[in-house]
Amino acid sequence: MKKLLITLLCLVMSVNIANAFGDDIDIKYENGIYHIKLEGEKIKRKIKVYASNTLRTNKEIHLESGAKLTINGGFFDPENEKTISYVVINSQTYEDPIMNENLLTNAFLRKNLAKILNRTELRIVDCNNKYHFEMVPHNAKVDFTCDVVHSIQGGPLILPDLRLEEELFVVKEGDEVVRETSSVLHKTSRTILGLKDGELHILIITDENPMDMYEVQKLCKDLGFERAMALDGGSSTSMNYKNKYEVVSVKGDGAGRKLKSFLLVY
């Protein structure tokens, strides 16, 4: 009996040590939703952002990069393959929507350009060699002792407040909605980021359980997220994890929609 107890104690200690020194990608699937939790401090340094010069599928980038997890990133213009969302890679602005002429030649978009440029982004921030996440508008200042290593912009902010009008996803005249983008008021698949207790969560809301943005907000509250934001969604919703899980929102030939930017976890 004593030998058995010692054996069990050693096993428990081994599991705890493994968890203490390892980083984990925890994935649960329920009711058409993948809930991915990125656990531990080390994994924050294994999260990268990628933007392609030409539009590529999530699966192509996943296989070429050798990442464990790849999801779709922010908004882009399929007409000219240029970005509508900021992307920062290794502390350098890699994609800048101000360089997209289609935003400038469209009178309505040009008039509201400040709202588009200031949409919410996820930042991976280095402060004195300690990494943390921020989920803030693009124009939010970073502490002068810190550096934004990577960031990927999407929108809208979902928690603590849903910023549909502030980020130009909805335009109203009085109480009437006269313009809507990204189907924020309609049920569709979604790619959602959430922060809770300093850890990053990813929700891949598939075609099996499509949600409007108010339903997404309720889900994020129920999960206890402190902050939450959307990336591109609808037909852009994509996920690959190792060779085990794949989400392609609009299957077509099974390849998935071609995209501009991606969030990868190694």
Does position 8 have pLDDT exceeding 60, yes or no? no
pLDDT mean over 227-240 = 98
pLDDT mean over 248-253 = 72
Residue 256 falls within a domain, yes or no?
yes
Tell me the CA distances in angstroms from 51 to 47, 127, 166, one per residue in order: 14, 24, 26
pLDDT mean over 130-151 = 97
Q: How many Å apart are CA 206 and CA 161, to the nearest integer?
A: 23
Pick from 18-22, 26-30, 162-166, 180-184: least confident: 18-22
pLDDT mean over 139-168 = 97
CA 192 from chain centre, in angstroms, equals 6
Question: How many domains, the chain?
Answer: 1
Q: What is the pLDDT of residue 130?
A: 97
Does position 251 have pLDDT exceeding 70, yes or no? no
Q: How many Å apart are CA 46 and CA 56, to the nearest integer?
A: 22
Residue 233 falls within a domain, yes or no?
yes
pLDDT mean over 38-66 = 97
Residue 131 near residue 125, CB atoms below 8 Å: yes
Residue 200 falls within a domain, yes or no?
yes
Q: How many Å apart are CA 29 and CA 33, to the nearest integer?
A: 6
Does position 16 have pLDDT exceeding 70, yes or no? no
Residue 10 falls within a domain, yes or no?
no
Q: What is the pLDDT of residue 153?
A: 98
pLDDT mean over 211-219 = 98
Q: What is the pLDDT of residue 252?
A: 59
Q: What's the number of CA atoms in the CB half-sphere (13 Å) around residue 152?
A: 23
Q: Which domain holds residue 215?
A: 23-265
- Percent of the chain past pLDDT 90, that is, above it, reads 88
Q: What is the pLDDT of residue 250?
A: 75
Residue 229 falls within a domain, yes or no?
yes
Instruction: List the beta bridge partners of residue 150.
Output: 124
Q: How many Å apart are CA 122 and CA 143, to the nearest integer?
A: 15
Residue 6 falls within a domain, yes or no?
no
Pick from 17-21, 251-255, 257-261: least confident: 17-21
Residue 18 falls within a domain, yes or no?
no
Chain-wide mean pLDDT for the chain? 91
Q: How many Å apart are CA 262 and CA 237, to the nearest integer?
A: 11
Residue 27 falls within a domain, yes or no?
yes
pLDDT mean over 146-166 = 98
Query: Which tops the pLDDT comparison, 251 or 173?
Result: 173
Return phi, psi of residue 181, to 5°.
Answer: -125, 160
Tell me the CA distances in angstroms from 23 to 26, 55, 94, 175, one per residue in order: 10, 31, 28, 47
Pick from 152-166, 197-211, 242-256: least confident: 242-256
pTM of the predicted protein model: 0.90
